[in-house]
Structures are given as structure tokens and as C-alpha cells.
Chain A
């Protein structure tokens, strides 16, 4: 039963991120649900699981966007590993800490994205993109708490794990 609920949760997140948000045309304020899920899982699961989830969800992102295939998979694998390593140094049950981790990861993802695309000689409007990253970071940080509660209830992350 729990497994089914978890599967439905992932499908819902993917549908919301890739089908419903684009229809709402909230470009600048579109929260990155998948990023929040990856960071929260990386903070609570083993680094191996975190890397695998980061890679798979990154590939999903790549297919759903017009970017270089594999770039999001690369970025999200790095973020997942970084968060999985940092959990030994932070108090991961604190919601403000989780919000900071999600926000920081969102900004880092934006920076890595720009670096990769500059290396691949793709024209990206940097100023506009940075503004977009900041806006999306804020909205993603805002949804961290509700996502955390849902994931706790579904057993995707464990409660009260002190570093």
C-alpha cells in the first residue's frame, strides 16, 4: 500500500511539473518540485540512492526540455551527492535548514546549468536566466515544507534523524 502511494506521489509530481505548471504559464514563479524531492531524499537516504534518483530525474528533465541531453542528469547527480554528504554536518530535521538546502541547491543548479551551456557554446541570456533562477529558487524554497510533510507521511523520508 505504501509503495503504491509512493508511486502515485512520484507520478503526481512529474505530472504537476511537466504538464500542469507549463499550462499555467507561471514561467518565472514555477516551483521546481523535483529539485525539492531530490534534495529532501538526498538528506535522508544513502548517497548511492540519492545519486541514482538524481540521475534518473535529471534524465526526465532532459527529455522534457530542449537542453543538451544528459546535462540535467549530470547537474542533479552532483546536487544529490552534495546534499547526501552535507547531511552529516547539518541538522536535517530543521525545516529552515531544509529550505536553505533546497534554495542553495536551486541556485547551484542554475550556475552549473549556465557553465555547462557556455561550455557547449549555447547562447543563453545570462541576466534573464539568473533572474529566473532567483525567482524559481524562492518559490521552490516555499514549497519545501509541504513537500517534506507529504514525504514524511508517505514514508519516503524518516522523521527525527539527528546529525
Chain B
């Protein structure tokens, strides 16, 4: 039995798919579950294809570079040997300085009490900085990846995990306007948030216009966002936008890491902070936690401050 006439069927199917896509879009904008689940399902289906293609491409490139294209290797080898000699001497000097720095660090108890664990992941699909600032990595919930984890390359911070499939995850890079990483200037320790500027590069926002900033200064992660440890390089300040009518200045940043050449990444597993422990002297007391004057007064009275 034909419920819809042949003449109207194309329009009904068209309307159904249009409504479905609008539904997915709305669900995604609201941060809803349907779009997220759909995305994870498609990622799950694509994972074997991407992993296989990536393996084939990587091996072809390595075969070409390591066994076929060996022109000038002998000359390069001689140059590298002399460079290694110089670096060895420098290394000995630096090792000694590092040891004394370590001792000092221990002395002033600056070493973090929450060790940061990180794991290596391979890039199986990379986008571009302008339209497609995302990366797919070959690790997912099976390897303990969670949404919000920080991802970096050997050059610097890359972005955060936004969607997790069983064996594949999607990383939103710093170049996306929706990205946001806690950052600070390395020398002046001025803090802000780094996100995509929408022009294919990044900018650091929420920096007071009275804070001193110099061009070329290194921007590193502040470690306050719970995604990255402190001190991972992000990039260098390339321009400063300052408006006398604005409270904040915006710093344009050229990132250290190049999205087009990424192959291996590090995912940071930062342990969550332990829950706040109630002080022993407050045991048995019914203390509201709204921080109002009344609350504070009643707390002071109970703990004997007012008496």
C-alpha cells in the first residue's frame, strides 16, 4: 500500500533528511547526546579504515626515506658526528646544572605532588589550521582517553580531546575559535586564555592592557585548566592589539607546533584533584557553605573567634 503518492515522495524524503540534519545540528549546538552518539558511532566505523591507511602511508614514506632516497646521507653523517661531539660536551655541562637545579627545586618544594602521566598517540588524520582545525588520534576510551585531555607534540601544545570513540579520538586544535587553553607569558608570568583567532592562527585573550608584553615572548601553558601541565610551549607573541577603550589586550600568537607535519602526539593524563577535606575542628558543626556574612559570623561564633 502506498501511503505517499509517487509525485510527493521525493519531497517527503527531502523534508525528512532536511529535518534530520537540522535536528542533529540543533542537538550539537545544545551539546546534546544524539549528535555526540552519532559522531562517536561514525568515528568507530571509520577507525579501521583510517588506521590501516595511516599504517600503509607511514610505511611507504619510511620505506622511501630509509631505503631508497639516501642521497647525501654520507655527507650528512659526517656533519652529524661533529655536531654530536659538540652536543656531548654541552650535555655534560647542562647535566651538572640540571642536577643543581633539581636540588634547589626540592629545597623550595616546587615539585608537583601530582605527577603527570602522558601517553604517546599517533595522528591518523590531520586537518588544516583554517577550515578544519581537528586531528584524529589512534587512541580512545579503550586506552583511557577522556574528553578534555590536553594533547601536545614535541614542539608544543596542540589542543584538547573533544570526542572519544573506543579506539579513535577527535582533537580540537588551538586554531579553532571554540578552543581554550590556560596560558601565561613565560617571562612576565601574565596569564590569559589561548584560542583560535578565526584567521588560521591563535590569540591570547583576557590579558590586562596594563600588563607588560613584549613581541616574540614565549607563551606557555599555565596548568590551571586541568588539561595541560604547566610550562608546555604554545607559541610566540607576533602582534599586540591594544585599544584604550578596552580593559584587555589581545596578543596574536604564532604556534610552535606545525599542524601539517604532525605524526606523533602526547596525551596528558592529569589526575583530578582530591576532594576538599573538611577541617577536623569543624566536625559535628552544621556549616552552610554560601559564604554570606551571616554564615561567616555564625562560623566565627562557633569556632570561638567572636568570643
Do A and B pair up? The answer is yes
Q: Point out residues on A near B: beta carbons under 8 Å.
A: 11, 14-15, 18-20, 22-23, 25, 27, 46-48, 51-52, 54-55, 58-60, 62-66, 68-71, 73-74, 77-78, 81, 84, 116, 120, 122-125, 128-129, 132
Q: Is the CB of B39 within 8 A of A63?
A: yes
Question: Which residue of B25, B49, B177 contacts A68 across the interface (Cβ within 8 Å)?
Answer: B25
* Bound Cα distance from A114 to B24, whole angstroms: 18
B211 CB within 8 Å of chain A: no
Q: Point out residues on B near A: beta carbons under 8 Å.
A: 9-10, 13-14, 17-18, 20-29, 35-36, 38-39, 42-43, 46, 49-50, 53-54, 57, 124-128, 130-134, 136, 170, 172-173, 176-178, 196-200, 260
User: Please, which residues of chain A bring their CB within 8 A of the CB of B199?
Assistant: 125, 128
User: Please, which residues of chain B bring their CB within 8 A of the CB of A22?
Assistant: 125-128, 132
Interface residues of chain B: helix, strand, loop or mixed (majority): helix
* Bound Cα distance from A64 to B50, whole angstroms: 11
Contact flag A81-B14 (CB < 8 Å), given A15-B49, A66-B172: yes
User: Please, which residues of chain A bring their CB within 8 A of the CB of B39?
Assistant: 62-63, 69
Question: Which residue of B18, B36, B54, B200 contacts A19 across the interface (Cβ within 8 Å)?
Answer: B54
* Bound Cα distance from A104 to B198, whole angstroms: 26
4 other A-B residue contacts (CB within 8 Å) besides A22-B128, A62-B39, A74-B25: A15-B53, A48-B9, A122-B178, A128-B200
Q: Could you show 29 A-B contacts with beta carbons less than 8 Å apart?
A: A14-B49, A19-B124, A20-B57, A22-B127, A25-B260, A48-B10, A55-B20, A63-B170, A64-B136, A65-B134, A66-B132, A66-B133, A68-B25, A68-B29, A69-B24, A70-B25, A70-B26, A70-B27, A70-B35, A71-B21, A73-B17, A73-B20, A73-B21, A73-B24, A78-B18, A120-B29, A122-B178, A124-B198, A128-B200
Interface residues of chain A: helix, strand, loop or mixed (majority): helix
Q: Is the CB of B18 within 8 A of A77?
A: yes
Tell me the nearest residue of chain B to A124, going by C-beta: B198
- A-B pairs with beta carbons under 8 A, tally: 131
Question: Which residue of B17, B22, B49, B57 contacts A52 across the interface (Cβ within 8 Å)?
Answer: B17
User: Please, which residues of chain A bring their CB within 8 A of the CB of B130?
Assistant: 27, 125, 128-129, 132
Tell me the smallest distance from the CB of A120 to a CB of chain B, in Å.
Answer: 6
* Bound Cα distance from A51 to B14, whole angstroms: 6
Q: Is the CB of B10 within 8 A of A65?
A: no
Q: Is the CB of A69 within 8 A of B57?
A: no
User: Please, which residues of chain A bring their CB within 8 A of the CB of B196?
Assistant: 123
User: Please, which residues of chain A bring their CB within 8 A of the CB of B10?
Assistant: 46-48, 51, 81, 84
Tell me the nearest residue of chain B to A61, going by C-beta: B132
User: Please, which residues of chain B bring their CB within 8 A of the CB of A128?
Assistant: 130, 199-200
Q: Is the CB of B17 within 8 A of A19?
A: no
Q: Is the CB of B42 within 8 A of A59?
A: yes
Contact flag A54-B17 (CB < 8 Å), given A15-B53, A128-B200: yes
User: Please, which residues of chain B bring their CB within 8 A of the CB of A15?
Assistant: 49, 53
User: Please, which residues of chain A bring their CB within 8 A of the CB of B172?
Assistant: 66
* Bound Cα distance from A74 to B28, whole angstroms: 13
Q: Is the CB of A51 within 8 A of B13?
A: yes
* Bound Cα distance from A128 to B75, whole angstroms: 43
User: Please, which residues of chain B bring their CB within 8 A of the CB of A124?
Assistant: 198
Q: Is the CB of A52 within 8 A of B18?
A: no
* Bound Cα distance from A83 to B263, whole angstroms: 39
* Bound Cα distance from A66 to B160, whole angstroms: 12
